[in-house]
Structures are given as structure tokens and as C-alpha cells.
Structure 1
């Protein structure tokens, strides 16, 4: 799912990646909206809010929106730096560090109310942390899938989906249509995952509040475990072939 890159990566790898991480993004997004009143999976809306607060001369709030944008950018930069550094060392485990950092952030934010009383300044810090985590995830997925999969925002996805649906009326070659339909299905899976995560997170938030963030953290750790188990299976399979 994460480990395969370049020629070793196929459609099924991207489909698995899209399904799990888009659901994670949906869960984090709805939890951020309900508990923090903040969009945490993209920065498009924050530019509009920044402009609004600037016009209203509410410079303190305008600055906070700039920080939101900055933390998402920082998360993407850190993720990109880690992956590039690992690629220079020929490591295939570059994805582990960003995923672990994201999981730690989600677990910490989810359990924070257990240890301290949550006040407005703390909520702002949690927003910063979640935007950083989503920047990490978006950059990681983009790098691993070679920009085929994006999981934290849907605007560009719906645009690409609309273009590809229109192309169905013009592409007549069988091979081209199969490729186009697979691409459309992948995008629909990302959208469905994001929606399912949002709906599930909305229901869970009524009972668990910020602890809802523990579920996406568990999903990320499960994805790492799943990748590790598959790797061990393939190693075992190869060793058995060599023994024959």
C-alpha cells in the first residue's frame, strides 16, 4: 500500500491507500469542525476567512488563519523532506515516520481532554496540530502515489472526476475506456471514504468528543501493520521458491 513506488506500484495499491486514508481525513475533518470549529484537512477556506478578518480589522484572528495555512504547509514540507531524505538512502520505509508522527498527533489530541482542561488557546493549538498532521498525510500520499491519490480535500478531485466523466462520451478505444473507468472508480472511492469518515465521525463525536480522533489513529497504525504483514508474507513466499 505504502511501500510500493514507481513501476512496482499498481492500481490496487492506490485503491487500498485511497480507501483507508480518505476515511481518516473524513474523520479528522468532521472532528475538527465539531470540536474546534476549524477546517483541518485543507487550507482553501482559511484564505477566505483570513481575507474576511483582515477587512473586519480583526488582525489577531487573521493572523491565526495565516498560522493555520502555515502549519498545513509545514506538515507537507516535513513529510516531503523525510521522504526525499529516505529516497536518497534507498530506503523503502520512508512512509513509516510521517504516518507515526500523524498517529502520535491524533492520539495526543484525542486524549488531551483526559489530562487537562481544554480552553480556547488549547483548542487553537490542537487545530495547528491537526492541520500539520493533514499536511503530512496529503504530502505523503501524493509522493507515494505519484500524485494519483489525494485524500484530504475534494475540490480538485471533483474537478478531475467531472472531466473524466465527460471524457466517457468521447473515448471509444476499449483500453482507454477501461483506464478511464478505473480512474473514475478510484476517485469515487476517495470521495466515498471521505464521506463515510465524516458521517461515522459525526456519530462518534456525540459520545466521544475529541476522543473520536483515536479511531483514525488506529486506522493508520493498522495500515502500517497490514503493510508489514504483507511484506513478511512476500519474503516468506520468495524464500520458499528459492528452497524448491
Structure 2
């Protein structure tokens, strides 16, 4: 799911990581909005509010909206910087550490968020935007820009284009590629929606601790990758052992 990068990835890998991370993004989006009434997975709306406040000469509020944008950017920058560094040092940790950091951030907000809502609600928005910038950059880099999980505007645009193309292109190979792309985009949208519904249902009882569901999902994703890696390793050792025995005869 995580460990295959770029051209090594296939549709199955992308569907798995899209399902997991879009679910987490949908959960964070709803939980963050219910907690502080701010969008915490994308910055498009924040940019509009930023410009509006600047034109009103309300520079203090405008600066707050600027910080929303900046923290998303900072998360993306930090994630890419970290992945590039780890790829050169120890490739197997290039996805584990960024995902672990995102999990730690969500865990921290889940545990301390209720106090922050009272004393510094903007800090929750900054932190969640950083985490989502980190996630979006990570999955974009891992999937070679095939998967994006934190916002849906571009996804619905691409989905609309691809669905319209089905009416005009009949070449089997091109239609196969279209169906693959449509399936991936529908998966991201569906799991973002499921994550949002989950966040909305459980927020009324759990508050920001609902983010612990997202933490559990991320950690299970890392665990799944480790188990799969060990299984493949054992299979290869077994095949090599059988091959070696056959050569002896």
C-alpha cells in the first residue's frame, strides 16, 4: 500500500491507499469543522476569506487566514523534504515516519483538543491543516501524483471529464484506462464521504477524540504493510529453498 513508489505501483496499491487516506481526510474534515467551524483539509475557501479580510483592512483576521494556508503548505513542504531525505538514507522508512508523524498529530489533537477549543481554537485548525498538507504531499509523492485525498474539487472535475469521454471514445484500451481512473476517483470520493459520516456520527459522543479512529486507521495501514512485506519475504525464501533443493538433484 505505502511501500511501492512511482512506477512500481499498480491500481490495487492505489485503491488501498486511496481508501485509507481519503477516509482519514473525510474524518478530519468533519471533526475539524464541528470543533472550530473551519475547513481543515484544504485551503481554497481560506484564500477567498484571506483576500476578503485584506480588502476590508481587517489585517489581523486576514493574517489568521493566511496562517491556515501557510500551515497546509508547511505540512506539504515538510512531508516532501522528509520523504526525499529518507529515500536517500533508508527507503523503508520513507513512508513510515511521515505517517507516524501524522498519527501523532491527530492523537495529540484528540487528547488535548478540548482544552485548545477553549483557549486557542485556531491552533487546532493550524495543526490539522499541517497534518493534511503532510498527508496530501505524501500520497501524491508515493502514487506519482495519481492519488490525492484531502479535497474533492479536482476529483469531481476530473470525474466529470472522464465520464463525458465515455460517450465519445470507443477504443478498448482508452476506455479501459478511463474505467480504471473513474474507479480510483469514485473510491476516493466514497471513502472521503464515509470518513465524514463517521466523524459526524461519533463527534457528538466523542468530541475531538473521534480523531483516534483516524489514528487507528493509519496505524492499521502501516501494520498491514509490514505484515504483507513479511509474508512476501517468507514466500520468496520458501521458493528459493525449494529451488535450491531441486538444483541439488
Task: Give the TM-score normalised by structure 1.
Answer: 0.96
* CA positional deviation for 1:51: 1.5
Taking the TM superposition and a 5 Å limit, the aligned residue runs for 1:46-195 are: 46-89=46-89, 91-113=91-113, 116=115, 118-121=117-120, 123-195=121-193
* CA positional deviation for 1:6: 2.8
Query: Could you tell me whether the CA contact under 8 Å between 2:73 and 2:133 is conserved in 1?
Result: yes
* CA positional deviation for 1:58: 2.1
Which string of whole-angstrom CA distances, capped at 9 and with x for unpartnered residues, describes residues 123-168 of structure 1?
1111111000000000000000000000000111111111111111
* CA positional deviation for 1:113: 4.6
Segment drifting more, 1-10 vs 219-228: 1-10
Task: Give the TM-score normalised by structure 2.
Answer: 0.94
- For the aligned residue pairs, the C-alpha RMSD in angstroms reads 1.3
Whether 2:24 is the aligned partner of 1:40: answer no
* CA positional deviation for 1:56: 2.6
Q: 1: distance between equivalents of 2:173 and 2:185?
A: 19
Runs in 1 of length 4+ with deviation above 4 angstroms? none
Query: Could you tell me whether the CA contact under 8 Å between 2:22 and 2:188 is conserved in 1?
Result: yes
Which of the two has higher C-alpha Rg? 2
Query: Could you tell me whether the CA contact under 8 Å between 2:76 and 2:135 is conserved in 1?
Result: yes
Map of 2:219 onto structure 1: 221
Q: 1: distance between equivalents of 2:27 and 2:108?
A: 16
Are residues 184 and 113 of structure 1, via their aligned partners in 2, closer, same or farther at CA, if it must alter by over 3 Å? closer
Q: 2: distance between equivalents of 1:237 and 1:211?
A: 40
* CA positional deviation for 1:29: 0.3
Q: 2: distance between equivalents of 1:139 and 1:117?
A: 26
Query: Which structure 1 segments of 5+ residues have no match?
Result: none
Query: Could you tell me whether the CA contact under 8 Å between 2:3 and 2:92 is conserved in 1?
Result: yes
Map of 1:17 onto structure 2: 17
Which string of whole-angstrom CA distances, capped at 9 and with x for unpartnered residues, describes residues 64-96 of structure 1?
110111100000001000111122236132011
* CA positional deviation for 1:186: 0.6
Query: Which structure 2 segments of 5+ residues have no match?
Result: 243-249
Whether 2:197 is the aligned partner of 1:199: answer yes
Which string of whole-angstrom CA distances, capped at 9 and with x for unpartnered residues, describes residues 10-48 of structure 1?
100000011110010000000111001111100101001
